[in-house]
Amino acid sequence: MTPDWRAIVRTHVPPLALEHEPEILDELAQHLSDVYDEALRAGKSDEDALAFATATLPAERERLGRDLVTARRSLPGLIADRWSADLPAAPASRTRPLADLRRDVSYALRSLRRSPGYAAVAILTLALGIGANTAMFAAVDAILLRPLPYPDADRLVVPVSMHAGRNIKNASVSYGDYLDWQRETALFDAVALWRPFAADLTGTGQPERLSALSVSPEFFRVLNVTPIAGRTLQPGDHEAKAPRVLVLTYGLWQRAFGGATDVVGRTVRFGGVPHEIVGVLPDRLAWPENVALYGAMRPSLYAAEDRERRDNMIFQSLARLRDGATLESGNAALATIASRLERDFPESRKGWTNHLVPLREYMVEEGMRIGLWVLLAAVGAVLLIACANLAHLGLVRGLARQRELGIRIALGASRWRLVRQIVVEGLVIAIVGGSAALALGAWMIQGLKAMAPPDTPFIEGLGLDGRVLAATAAVALLAMFVSSLLPAVTSTRVRPAPAIKDGSPSAGTSRRVRTLRHGLVVAEIAGAVVLLVGAALLLRSFSRIQNVHAGVDVDRVLTGRIALPRAPRYEGSAAVAQFYENLIDRLKAVPGVESAGATSFVPVGGGGFGLGRVFLAEGWPEPPGGPDVGAQWNVITSDYFGTMGIPILAGRPFTRNDAEKSTPVMIVSRSFASQMFGAENPLGRRARSWRDENVLREIVGVVDEVRYEGLAERERLRQVYVPHAQNTWSSLTLVVRSKAGPPRSLESAIRRELAALDPDLALANVVALEDIARRSVSGERYGTLLISILALTALALGAVGIYGLISHAVSMRRQELGLRSALGASPGHLYRLVFGQGLWLTAIGLALGLAGALATGRVLDQLLYETEPYDPAAYAVTILAILATAALACLAPARRAARVDPLTALRVT
Amino acid sequence: MAPKQDLKKGSAEVMVLAAIEDQARHGYDIARRIDAESGGLLRFHVASLYPMLYRMERRGWILGRWLEKTGQRRRRVYRLTPDGRRVLAAQRREWQSLVSALERVARISTAQ
């Protein structure tokens, strides 16, 4: 009886999931049947013939299945075959460069398909290295490089005040400065003033708190933007009696007015006062980015002292340099004016000067600028390490291909042709790896955007655009070209005869190539060391930031801003004070609320209205006759310290008895007290903010320091607190502490109580204090996270480099190791031999890397918080990490070496 | 040893192409012919023969057709395509030059 060949084949071939599977099985069955028949004819027994036929099928069924499948369908195979389909027909002629290229590409595809491990590692390395660069370059481009969207944006500058002695930079300017600068017509096309403020927009649905700018008549001329509807501001709008008008940003127009075409001419209530909308700005041309609308500044309505006093630096400026004027000439002119002012107004302008800051620099703070460049340098270093790895891989591959190259040279291929072949192979990898890098980069860009610190300028514009694509493509091609040229040149230096005859990979292991490979691995380790030191320093710095004591208890506190409109019911300070007292009383009665208060400035980076003022103790002479003490002026309600958990060191907190008509009082921070009174008891003493309020206030309490600028603030400001009842501001921030549970749960209750008092009031910027604190260091967290990821990537790439080198060296030395083992070397000895080689190279890389890290430490200094750039712990951690990684990378090859069979020594390769 | 295997693999294609140069053959026939003509030195197994045939078919060098004869099982026979003929010619040239290079370089003699 004939055996069921199909069933037999079926048991030897796994399911193939191919369309033609039944036919393939049929064909194989037929083959077995033929073998069987012939065996019978040759005189074998039934049983023997059956065994003979079955034995033609391989024992490894998986492998047969895989071979059948890949033969039938494999995309790279299909591409390679399509390319080479008609190549043999083409005459091999030097005048057919395109055919040559096709031949090279097809050859490259086939050769890469033959070494999928190499191709995968190379593509992955490239994708990682370039993907990270793509994302980081996109960020640097969007935030630092791409021109601002205004015409001739490089001529936009922000004039600022600075005071070297008090370490004040980028401060605001006085009205008189603005008038002075306007006369410098040779320098500026126009100079404008602006002041940010916030108010509630009502009459468009839910009342909404919006950021606005009050601007001088030149503002839109400086920016040089044309409205897409209506007009911008006219000189007449700035007169005292002119009707109030607003210019909308594109974003607000879309959001609050649904992009209505008839919005110009409509009247809305803004800050409780009717305003007419006169124009809409184009998309993305709003400045600053977070502003929603613009109103007309009316200087004639300001108090005379706001306009005339040279030390009332309460305005921001923006100017456009005249075509041809430079930053240097502008700074020189401003310095001249400033020194004249210093002479004319010594009591208020001593030490002050002015200079110009390019608009972009003004928008992107120094820490972020440095951080971005450091990160870009770090990803660049990762890319270099990746390239070194690729070059190294290529060298090893070149060694393994000596025979192939030898045969090709023997067949008449020129060396140039082989070099080109290898470079083309590199370019194929560059294209595949570059595409993978783009995908990875796009994904990383989403991550960068999602995790970016709030208020990162230009973050919206971050994305994969033409510039980024071009940069990625260029980097990918360059990286692969550079890293394949080296192997190409060295490994094509083949003498064909020994390469073919011997065929062993060691045939071409010249000293030169070995030195090169060692050099590459040393460079990789050195690069990884520099990055690791940087990451370790930033991590230490960040852990210090996280452990600082903010001076307040940030848990369970919700904050939200309120601005009372100009309306008859809030006329006069008594009405305003009464409103806040009523609101706070209602909030305290809410179940779940432990305490509540209000402040003009929120700690740990929450912001508000921070007034820097200078104070004199009672009896002190006025400057320049004597010293003064600078401090920030805070207006608070009586329960502020209790709610925030700020300890009172001496004296008492404010109470409701500190009222409008009672004795003027103040509470000061410890640093203020010691600066003004030294070791003397400040309680009961009196001081005044001499150029502003000028009222002698009795110091009734001393409180501990609070970090107002954020957890990582470098300079602690001295603080003065005054009771709201004695200095009523219409805008304050509520601070409400819950008894237990998340502070967010209080939001609806706060809104309800607010609406019960006045349904037209908006509660803005509702955010938990701990979120504010966390956000205040989000830039540091972000940078630390990114650089740590990069350092680990570098470490991993370095490990791959060491592993590849040592592993290859071990397989080169199999015979020698076998001989040593045969002659009695213990496994421990062989371990030491392999580790010795790996760790020796690591040590050189480590030494070079540490030197590099020491040299670059100064750059990082500006990003570090209470951490020395030469912090020994960071260096120690790095050294340990590198040594451990190197040891780990050597472990597997060393084990292989120790297990080499002594008989290997006897076999001839 | 590695080089020998590689050489075999590279030469297998040209041998298969040559085996069906004059006449269409089925898989077993091709294997038997190569076996016989090489004096038993080169023996194809199912595991290497059929994947190679399919690959060459996909490249358009050979074409497989099912053929049914009365009283017999159907068989798949392969014949050379015009492309395959060109490939065979080109590979013959390449092998010739390699062999002559080997003769010169490694002093491997083929004829005597």
3-state SS record for A31-85:
HHHHHHHHHHHCCCCHHHHHHHHHCCCCCCHHHHHHHHHHHHCCHHHHHHHHHHC
Tokens found for residue A615: 């104070």
Tokens found for residue A382: 């990762």
- Is the torsion defined by CA of A397, A399, A403, A409 positive or negative? positive
pLDDT of residue A499: 54
Nearest to A641 by CA among A611, A598, A684, A587: A598
Residue B9: pLDDT band (50, 70, 90) is: low
Nearest to A172 by CA among A314, A308, A287, A360: A314
Contact A71 B76 (CB under 8 A): no
CA-CA distance, A865 to B45, in Å (whole number)?
Answer: 71
- Name the one residue in this structure whose structure tokens are 């080296």: A486
- DSSP code, position A143: I
Contact A503 B106 (CB under 8 A): no
Provide φ and ψ at A68, rounded to 5°.
-65, -40
Nearest to A27 by CA among B78, B56, B32, B35: B78
Contact B51 A24 (CB under 8 A): no
Nearest to A286 by CA among A353, A354, A219, A357: A219
- Name the one residue in this structure whose structure tokens are 């080479």: A84
DSSP 3-state assignment of A649? strand
Answer whether A218's CB lies under 8 Å from A189's CB: no
Answer whether B84's CB lies under 8 Å from B17's CB: yes
Q: Is residue B47 part of a domain?
A: yes
pLDDT of residue A738: 94
Distances (CA, A) of A309 to A254, A312, A774: 41, 6, 39
A609-658 pLDDT, tens per residue?
878 888 999 999 987 778 889 899 999 999 999 999 999 999 999 999 99
Q: How long is chain B?
A: 112
Residues 6+ apart with CB under 8 A from A399: A491, A505, A506, A508, A509, A513, A808
Provide φ and ψ at A225, rounded to 5°.
-115, 145
Residue B4: pLDDT band (50, 70, 90) is: very low
CA-CA distance, A386 to A383, in Å (whole number)?
Answer: 5
Of B54, B66, B101, the CB nearest to A71: B54
CA-CA distance, A180 to A339, in Å (whole number)?
Answer: 13
Query: In chain B, what residues touch A407 (CB-CB under 8 Å)?
Result: 98
Contact B46 A78 (CB under 8 A): no
Answer whether A662's CB lies under 8 Å from A625's CB: no
Q: Is residue B8 part of a domain?
A: yes
Q: Nearest C-alpha of chain A: how many angstroms from B56?
A: 8
Asked if A70 reaches chain B (Cβ–Cβ under 8 Å), the answer is yes
Tokens found for residue A216: 């001088």
- Provide the residue type at A416 as one letter: W
Q: How far is CA A377 from the centre of its chain?
A: 13
- DSSP labels for A731-790? EEEEEEEESSS-GGGGHHHHHHHHHHH-TTPPPEEEEEHHHHHHHHTHHHHHHHHHHHHH
pLDDT of residue A508: 45
DSSP 3-state assignment of A651? strand
Instruction: Kindly report the CATH number assigned to the domain that includes residue B41.
Output: 1.10.10.10
B10-41 pLDDT, tens per residue?
678 888 899 999 889 999 889 888 888 887 77
Q: Is residue B99 part of a domain?
A: yes
Of A28, A72, A496, the CB nearest to B46: A28
Residues 6+ apart with CB under 8 A from A278: A230, A231, A232, A233, A237, A245, A246, A247, A264, A265
Tokens found for residue B91: 């590979």
Burial A781-818 (b: 16+ CB within 10 A, else e): bbbbebbbbbbebbbbbbbbbbbbbbbbbbebbbbebb
Q: What is the mean pLDDT of each run of 10 residues along chain A (909 residues)?
A: 82 78 86 88 88 82 78 56 44 58 82 81 84 86 84 91 81 91 91 89 79 92 91 91 92 89 90 91 82 90 81 89 91 91 84 90 83 86 85 78 73 75 83 88 87 78 85 83 77 60 49 80 89 89 85 92 84 90 94 94 86 89 84 93 94 93 94 93 93 90 91 83 93 93 91 90 88 86 84 83 79 78 82 86 93 86 84 92 89 83 61
pLDDT of residue A82: 47
- Is the torsion defined by CA of A767, A773, A776, A781 positive or negative? negative
Of A23, A27, A67, the CB nearest to B27: A27
- Provide the residue type at A33 as one letter: S
Nearest-by-CA chain B residue for A9: B46
Pairing of strands A273-280, A245-248: parallel
Contact A35 B3 (CB under 8 A): no
Half-sphere exposure of A670 (CA within 13 A, CB side): 12
10 Å CB burial of residue A94 (0-12, 13-18, 19+) is: exposed
CA-CA distance, A56 to A35, in Å (whole number)?
Answer: 9
Half-sphere exposure of B15 (CA within 13 A, CB side): 23
pLDDT of residue A459: 80
Provide φ and ψ at A562, rounded to 5°.
-130, 135
pLDDT of residue B111: 47
Nearest to A173 by CA among A199, A192, A153, A187: A192
- Mean pLDDT along residues B60-71: 83
- A356 forms beta bridges with A159
Nearest-by-CA chain B residue for A25: B50
Contact A89 B66 (CB under 8 A): no
Nearest to A591 by CA among A736, A757, A734: A736
Q: What's the pTM?
A: 0.65
Q: Residue A715's CB: how many other CB atoms inside 10 A?
A: 7
Asked if A91 reaches chain B (Cβ–Cβ under 8 Å), the answer is no
Nearest to A187 by CA among A384, A354, A299: A354
Pairing of strands A665-669, A168-171: unpaired
- Angle at CA of residue A282, ends A278 and A285, nearest 5°: 115
Scan residues 39-78 of B and list those with Cβ closer than 8 Å to A. Answer: 45-48, 50-52, 54-55, 58-60, 66, 73-76
Contact A77 B55 (CB under 8 A): yes
Contact A85 B76 (CB under 8 A): no
Distances (CA, A) of A774 to A370, A542, A546, A735, A783: 21, 12, 9, 17, 14
Answer whether A903's CB lies under 8 Å from A818's CB: yes
CA-CA distance, A108 to A115, in Å (whole number)?
Answer: 11
Query: In chain A, what residues touch B47 (CB-CB under 8 Å)?
Result: 57-58, 63-64, 67
Nearest to A796 by CA among A431, A419, A517, A382: A382
Domain count, chain B: 1
Q: How far is CA A427 from the centre of its chain?
A: 30
Contact A23 B74 (CB under 8 A): no
Of B47, B73, B90, the CB nearest to A67: B47
Q: Is residue B111 part of a domain?
A: no
Contact A503 B51 (CB under 8 A): no
Nearest to A132 by CA among A897, A871, A797: A797
CA-CA distance, A221 to A182, in Å (whole number)?
Answer: 13
Query: In chain A, what residues touch B26 (CB-CB under 8 Å)?
Result: 30
CA-CA distance, A40 to A42, in Å (whole number)?
Answer: 5
Nearest-by-CA chain A residue for B30: A31
Residue B24: which domain range?
A: 2-106
- Is the torsion defined by CA of A452, A454, A458, A460 positive or negative? positive
Q: Residue A60's CB: how many other CB atoms inside 10 A?
A: 12
Which region, left, alpha or beta, applies to residue A864 given φ > 0 means left and ψ of -120 to 50 means alpha? beta
ipTM, two decimals: 0.86
- DSSP code, position A297: -
